[in-house]
């Protein structure tokens, strides 16, 4: 199993390790490339101005962080194209699908900004230009691979003229139009070839060579070679169906097995349906299936004893029966009650969050959804939304409560924190005590929460403004506890303050604990936000311009819940589209 992730910073140990492995792979597979060029990769990733292109690295790795392949992609925004600098798969992995998955990912990156296309070099499959039969066979294989995507060599130019006359294997310039079927004008190709030769090979290609290549371009439009390896024309592989990129959406398919049918239990399955029916028709989202993830992602955040208790106790509870905590052994927490049903209170903060078989299964499935979306973020997705219940933000390392069992946003934050700094913004009406407690002593995850003051709002015991973190985590927890009655303007002011503290922290990833119980009329809240306010909140959050993972928390007024969610995501999406100029 492997995943593909976009490396967004070069300073974390995990990424330093990945970049080192990539350099080794290049060294092994492209032996003739000078060592200094390989060492430049990190520099190119951080200094686009110096090189006049923006380098981005995609790696296929396993969860043990062994690199199975990589693609180094250069973006030349002034000419609106991408150049695939290197793509390689680790020895022995050539038939594993890694190459195809990497190239697919690279194409998606280019399609997401509607680039003109991807250019890349391939050694020739012409025996006159490639005289070693073994290399010739490899070259044919490579050209056939790209041809499946419609990518073929540009013909009738001198691009493949060797810089040193008589040299073997001068590369073709291959063009992938990404399925857009736009023609290549001779003027444009002149600029592209010149940009590649100057920016990429400036120290190797003399001026006279660049000029000769440029002047050799006479066809208008410039032509690519007819299909050679594929019988049928397949240049419609992965033609982008939507002009606009969609946000990643995953819905917990097991949420509705968790249904506490008691009067007043507002955390009900209808919440998900009411959101889905409003957001799906917007076209903002593309729905994905969740993968399965092992328990260690959960126990990295929650006390393994609590996790194993939850798992074991529900096996002993009869189908359809619930256990409510009723004894809270706070006087002696060294002695968890032996009787399992009594022990519920040892791990719980209130009397209204029951344990039963389906609560565990639904919450566990929600964790899979959340980690799937976190992986999408690691792969470079701009934003992902986990539509799940039960919620998670009241679950602490070793306790459940407030309808919450596993703290989805904290599990995702802890996972993402291995790849960059993470900020969690909790905009649920109730304090996000779970992630506050979990990350209270850490400085690599900033927790910010805007909520009703604990003097009148659940969970009553935490969420005070003077809770600022402890030890190394001091200064990395921010609470904005607001009065029972506020105006939308006061809310907006507070949100702007929260966003300011996140900007100062300079995170690589943002997680939004998305509670919509700030809505007017919510049975668990007291605030007045309406559709227009949610639209505005989404817009304001987009201004952070961060890869963002939205995790569903509260929101119980089902008549407006879906409309509020739709407004929130419309505000967010329209603002990122406008700022990235994609509309």
Catalytically annotated residues: 394
Q: What are the strands of the beta sheet with 548-552, ordered from one edge?
A: 285-288, 247-251, 383-387, 548-552, 509-514, 422-426, 445-452, 477-482
The residue (of 140 and 255) whose beta carbon lies closer to Zn ion is: 255
Rg of the chain in Å (alpha carbons): 27
Which residue's CB is nearer to Zn ion, number 147 or number 517?
517
- At 569, list the tokens: 């995501």
Using an 8 Å Cβ cutoff, are 446 and 502 in contact?
A: yes
Q: How far is the CB of 537 from Zn ion (least distance, A)?
A: 15
Q: Which is closer to Zn ion, CB of 235 or CB of 428?
A: 428
Q: Which residue, 285 or 403, is less far from Zn ion as judged by CB?
A: 403
Cα–Cα distance measured from residue 304 to residue 431, given in angstroms and rounded to the nearest whole number: 24
Residue 428 touching Zn ion (CB under 5 A): yes
What is the helix (H) or strand (E) element at residue 558, kind and residue range? helix 558-579
Encode burial over 418-436: b for 16+ CB neighbours within 10 A, e otherwise: ebbbbbbbbbbbbbbbbbb
Closer by beta carbon to Zn ion, 150 or else 390: 390
Contacts with 105 (C-beta within 8 Å, 6 or more apart), sequence order? 4, 58, 71, 379, 380
The contact mask relative to Zn ion for 100-129 (x = CB under 5 A, - = no) is: ------------------------------
Q: Which residue is nearest to Zn ion (CB)?
A: 554
Q: Is 392 in the site for Zn ion (CB under 5 A)?
A: no
Output the smallest distance, CB 427 to Zn ion, in A.
10
* Least spacing, CB of residue 555 vs Zn ion, in Å: 7
Least Å distance between CB 553 and Zn ion? Answer: 6
Q: Tokens in use for 263?
A: 């009067």
CA distance 408 to 388: 9
**Stretch binding Zn ion (CB under 5 A), from 235-243, 354-362, 367-375, 424-432:** 424-432
Contact segment (CB under 5 A) with Zn ion among 218-226, 248-256, 464-472, 546-554 equals: 546-554
Residue 245 found at the interface with Zn ion (CB under 5 A):
no
Kindly state the smallest distance separating residue 524's Cβ from Zn ion, in Å. Answer: 6
Q: Shortest approach of Zn ion to residue 9 CB, angstroms? A: 33
Give the residue with the Cβ less far from Zn ion, 140 or 394.
Answer: 394
Residues 185-214 that bind Zn ion (CB under 5 A): none
CB closer to Zn ion, 77 vs 523 = 523
* Interacting residue with Zn ion among 69, 434, 452, 554 (CB under 5 A): 554
Q: Which helix (H) or strand (E) holds 537?
A: helix 531-542
Site residues (CB under 5 A) for Zn ion, limited to 263-322: none
Count of residues touching Zn ion (by CB under 5 A) = 6
Smallest distance from Zn ion to CB 351, Å: 17
Q: Which is nearer to Zn ion, 79 or 482 (CB)?
A: 482
Using CB atoms within 10 A of its CB, is residue 411 exposed (0-12), middle (13-18) or buried (19+)?
buried
Handedness of CA 121, 125, 127, 128 (dihedral sign): negative
Q: How far is the CB of 583 from Zn ion (least distance, A)?
A: 34
Q: Which stretch binds Zn ion (CB under 5 A): 121-129, 171-179, 212-220, 510-518?
A: 510-518
- Measured from the CB atom, is 428 or 467 closer to Zn ion? 428
Taking CB under 5 A as the criterion, which residues in 514-543 touch Zn ion?
515, 517
Burial of 398 (0-12, 13-18, 19+ CB in 10 A): middle
Cis peptide leading into 510, omega within 30 of 0?
Answer: no
426 binds Zn ion (CB under 5 A): no
Shorter beta-carbon distance to Zn ion: residue 401 or 554: 554
CB burial of residue 552 (10 Å; 0-12, 13-18, 19+): buried
Q: Please give the DSSP secondary-structure letter assigned to residue 346.
A: G
Distance CA 291, CA 376 (A): 11
Nearest distance, CB of residue 230 and Zn ion, angstroms: 55
Q: Given the rule CB under 5 A, which of 195-203, 294-302, 407-415, 552-560 is the region that contacts Zn ion?
A: 552-560
**Shortest distance in whole angstroms from residue 507 CB to Zn ion:** 23
Contact 204, 163 (CB under 8 A): yes
Longest dimension (CA), the chain: 87
DSSP 251-317: E-TTGGG----STT----THHHHHHHHHHGGGT-EEEEPPPP--THHHHTTS-HHHHHHHHHHHHHS
Does position 430 interact with Zn ion (CB under 5 A)? The reply is yes
Structure tokens at 397: 């390392």
Residue 350 sits in the site that holds Zn ion (CB under 5 A): no
On whether the CB atoms of residues 397 and 301 are closer than 8 A, the answer is: yes
Segment near Zn ion (CB under 5 A), from 46-54, 368-376, 448-456, 509-517?
A: 509-517
Q: Which residues bind Zn ion (CB under 5 A)?
A: 428-430, 515, 517, 554
């Amino acid at each position: 199993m492997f995943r593909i992730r976009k490396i967004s910073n070069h300073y974390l140990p995990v990424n330093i390790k990945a970049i080192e492995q990539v350099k080794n792979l290049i060294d092994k597979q492209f032996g003739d490339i000078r060592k200094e060029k390989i060492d430049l990769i990190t520099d190119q990733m951080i200094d686009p101005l110096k090189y006049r292109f923006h380098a981005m690295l995609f790696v296929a790795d396993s969860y043990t962080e062994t690199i199975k392949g990589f693609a180094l992609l250069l973006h030349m925004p002034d000419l609106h194209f991408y150049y695939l600098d290197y793509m390689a798969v680790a020895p022995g992995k050539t038939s594993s699908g890694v190459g195809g998955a990497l190239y697919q990912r690279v194409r998606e990156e280019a399609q997401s900004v509607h680039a003109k296309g991807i250019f890349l070099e391939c050694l020739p499959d012409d025996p006159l230009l490639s005289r070693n039969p073994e290399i010739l066979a490899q070259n044919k294989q490579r050209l056939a691979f790209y041809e499946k995507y419609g990518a073929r060599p540009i013909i009738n130019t001198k691009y493949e003229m060797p810089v040193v006359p008589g040299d073997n294997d001068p590369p073709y310039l291959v063009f992938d139009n990404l399925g857009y079927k736009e023609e290549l004008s001779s003027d444009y190709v002149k600029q592209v070839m010149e940009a590649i030769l100057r920016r990429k090979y400036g120290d190797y290609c003399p001026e006279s060579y660049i000029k000769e290549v440029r002047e050799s371009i006479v066809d208008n439009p410039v032509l690519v070679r007819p299909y050679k390896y594929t019988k049928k024309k397949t240049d419609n592989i992965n033609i982008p169906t939507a002009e606009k990129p969609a946000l990643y959406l995953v819905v917990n398919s097991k949420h509705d097995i968790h249904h506490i049918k008691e009067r007043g239990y507002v955390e009900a399955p209808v919440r998900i349906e009411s959101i889905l029916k409003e957001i799906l028709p917007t076209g903002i989202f593309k729905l994905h299936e969740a993968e399965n993830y092992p328990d260690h992602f959960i126990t990295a955040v929650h006390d393994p004893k609590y996790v194993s208790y939850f798992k074991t106790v529900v096996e002993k509870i009869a189908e359809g029966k619930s256990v409510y905590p009723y004894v809270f052994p706070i006087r002696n927490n060294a002695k968890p009650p032996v009787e399992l049903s009594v022990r519920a209170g040892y791990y719980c903060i209130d009397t209204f969050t029951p344990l039963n078989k389906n609560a565990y299964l639904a919450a566990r499935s929600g964790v899979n959804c959340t980690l799937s979306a976190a992986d999408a973020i690691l792969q470079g997705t701009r934003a992902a939304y986990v539509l799940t219940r039960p919620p998670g933000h009241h679950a602490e390392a070793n306790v459940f409560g407030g309808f919450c069992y596993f703290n989805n946003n904290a599990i995702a934050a802890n996972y993402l924190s291995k790849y960059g700094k993470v900020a969690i913004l909790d905009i649920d009406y109730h304090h996000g005590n779970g992630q506050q407690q979990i990350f209270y002593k850490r400085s690599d995850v900033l927790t910010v929460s805007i909520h009703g003051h604990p003097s009148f709002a659940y969970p009553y015991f935490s969420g005070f403004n003077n809770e600022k973190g402890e030890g190394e985590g001091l200064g990395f927890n921010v609470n904005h506890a607001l009065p029972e009655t506020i105006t939308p303007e006061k809310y907006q002011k507070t949100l702007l303050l929260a966003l300011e503290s996140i900007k100062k922290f300079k995170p690589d990833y943002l997680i939004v604990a998305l509670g919509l119980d700030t809505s007017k009329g919510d049975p668990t809240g007291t605030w007045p936000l309406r559709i227009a306010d949610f639209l505005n909140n989404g817009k304001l959050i987009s201004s952070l311009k961060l890869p963002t993972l939205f995790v569903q928390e509260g929101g119980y007024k089902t008549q407006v819940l879906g409309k509020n969610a739709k407004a929130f995501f419309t505000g967010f999406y329209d603002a990122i589209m406008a700022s990235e100029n994609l509309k």
